[in-house]
Amino acid sequence: MVSSGDNSPSRIIPAFIDFLKIEKGLAALTLAAYKRDLGQFAVYVERQKRTLLSARREEVRGFIEQLFANSIDGRSVARKLSALRHLYRYLLLEGMVERDPTMNLPSPKQWKVLPKSMARREIEEMLGGETTEVSTRRREAINSRNRTMLEVFYAGALRVSELVSLRIADVKLEMGYALVRGKGDKERIVPLGRSAQEALSIYLRHSRPRLVGAKQSPLLFIGRGGRPLTRQRVWQMVKTVSGKSGGRASPHMLRHSCATHMVENGADLRTVQTILGHADISTTQIYTHVALDRLRSVYQKHHPRAKAR
| Range with the largest mean pLDDT of 17-26, 30-39, 179-188, 244-253 | 30-39
Residue 71 has pLDDT above 80, yes or no: no
21 lies in the same domain as 90: yes
42 lies in the same domain as 78: yes
Say if 3 falls within a structural domain.
Answer: no
| Range with the largest mean pLDDT of 98-112, 115-129, 144-158 | 144-158
Active site residue 255: yes
Q: Which of 47, 79, 109 is the last residue of a domain?
A: 109
CATH of the domain at 129: 1.10.443.10
5 versus 88: the higher-pLDDT residue is 88
Catalytically annotated residue among 34, 88, 154, 287: 287
pLDDT (tens digit per residue) in 146-199: 999 999 999 999 999 999 999 999 999 999 999 999 877 889 999 999 999 999
Quote the pLDDT of residue 3: 47
Say if 306 falls within a structural domain.
Answer: no
State the DSSP string of the chain.
Answer: ---TT--SHHHHHHHHHHHIIIII---HHHHHHHHHHHHHHHHHHHHTT--TTT--HHHHHHHHHHHHHTT--HHHHHHHHHHHHHHHHHHHHTTS-SS-TTTTPPPGGG--PPPP---HHHHHHHHHS---SS-SHHHHHHHHHHHHHHHHHHHHT--HHHHHT-BGGGEEGGGTEEEEE-GGG-EEEEE--HHHHHHHHHIIIIIHHHHHTT---SBSSB-GGGPBPPHHHHHHHHHHHHHHTT----HHHHHHHHHHHHHHTT--HHHHHHHHT-SSHHHHGGGHHHHHHHHHHHHHHH-TT-S--
199 lies in the same domain as 92: no
Residue-range definition of the domain harbouring residue 102: 9-109
Least confident of 5-9, 216-220, 249-253: 5-9
Q: Which of 222, 246, 270 is the last residue of a domain?
A: 246
Please tell me the total count of domains within the chain.
2
134 lies in the same domain as 103: no
Active site residue 75: no
Active site residue 89: no
Say if 87 falls within a structural domain.
Answer: yes
Say if 264 falls within a structural domain.
Answer: no
CATH of the domain at 64: 1.10.150.130
91 lies in the same domain as 150: no
Catalytically annotated residue among 159, 208, 256, 261: 159
Residue 247 has pLDDT above 50, yes or no: yes
100 lies in the same domain as 128: no
Active site residue 34: no
Catalytically annotated residue among 183, 194, 215, 248: 183
Q: Which of 52, 77, 109 is the last residue of a domain?
A: 109
Say if 271 falls within a structural domain.
Answer: no
Least confident of 48-52, 116-120, 127-131, 169-173: 127-131
